[in-house]
Amino acid sequence: MGRVSSTRSETTKRGILDVARQHFSSVGFEGTSTRRIATDAGVNHSLIVYHFKNKDGLWKATMEDLFATAAAHASQYSASSDDPVETLRADLHAFVSFCAEHPELHRIMTIEGRMSSDRLTWLLETYLKENFASVSKRIRAGQSDGRIREGNPAQLYYGAIGIAGTLATLAREYEALSGESATSDASIASAKALIDALLFTD
């Protein structure tokens, strides 16, 4: 009986998180209502309070879930060596395909990155600073041996992130103007090739 109850609880929690992804990525934290999430998830609002305490707790749990999903996705595309340049290339290629499957992360980051807030501070301290330091180190290492183009490492990084995420974030606009699917295999391959051309010399 306990196992059944636990499974049901996890299923409920998963359903809430899936709906929360859509709300936070569409209308942001301020525009999101936990009661609307409960309604769309088909659960009593008290279950959101039970699992996540409040909207801030639900937002953090949503971000933790998205970053964990991104990490699991990236592990499938790991470079075959410890070469920092090839590791960077593999990670960026993985991010392209991840954004095509899960555009919510980049959409939320686009919303949160526009202004200072406790949420942005939490993201910086929990995920972004460490990742940025690691990527910057790999870019500089690649630049030192001529395998990555010269330029401001931060701008090169954000240029690559922009290529990876913008197609998914603005998918409807892109598709309306280009007549191409933003998430097709061809679009994903093209985005990876653009990142390679932006960053790498080999």
Domain co-membership, 123 together with 189: yes
Domain co-membership, 136 together with 96: yes
Residue 77 has a pLDDT of 83
Q: How many domains does the chain have?
A: 2
Band of pLDDT at residue 3, cut at 50, 70 and 90: low
19: containing domain: 1-54
Domain co-membership, 16 together with 88: no
pLDDT digits (tens, 9 = 90+) for 44-68: 999 999 999 999 999 999 999 999 9
Domain co-membership, 94 together with 17: no
Whether residue 63 lies inside any domain: the answer is no
Domain co-membership, 131 together with 38: no
Domain co-membership, 183 together with 108: yes
Q: What is the mean pLDDT of the chain?
A: 94
Band of pLDDT at residue 189, cut at 50, 70 and 90: very high
Q: Provide the CATH number for the domain around residue 160.
A: 1.10.357
Band of pLDDT at residue 9, cut at 50, 70 and 90: confident
Percentage of residues of the chain with pLDDT beyond 90: 89
Strand-pair partners of 148: 200
pLDDT digits (tens, 9 = 90+) for 82-139: 899 999 999 999 999 999 999 999 999 999 999 999 999 999 999 999 999 999 999 9
Domain co-membership, 195 together with 114: yes
- pLDDT of 1 > 70? The answer is no
Domain co-membership, 83 together with 41: no
Domain co-membership, 161 together with 109: yes
Whether residue 137 lies inside any domain: the answer is yes
Whether residue 68 lies inside any domain: the answer is no
Domain co-membership, 179 together with 96: yes
- pLDDT of 158 > 70? The answer is yes
Domain co-membership, 45 together with 95: no
Whether residue 69 lies inside any domain: the answer is no
Whether residue 59 lies inside any domain: the answer is no
Domain co-membership, 112 together with 193: yes
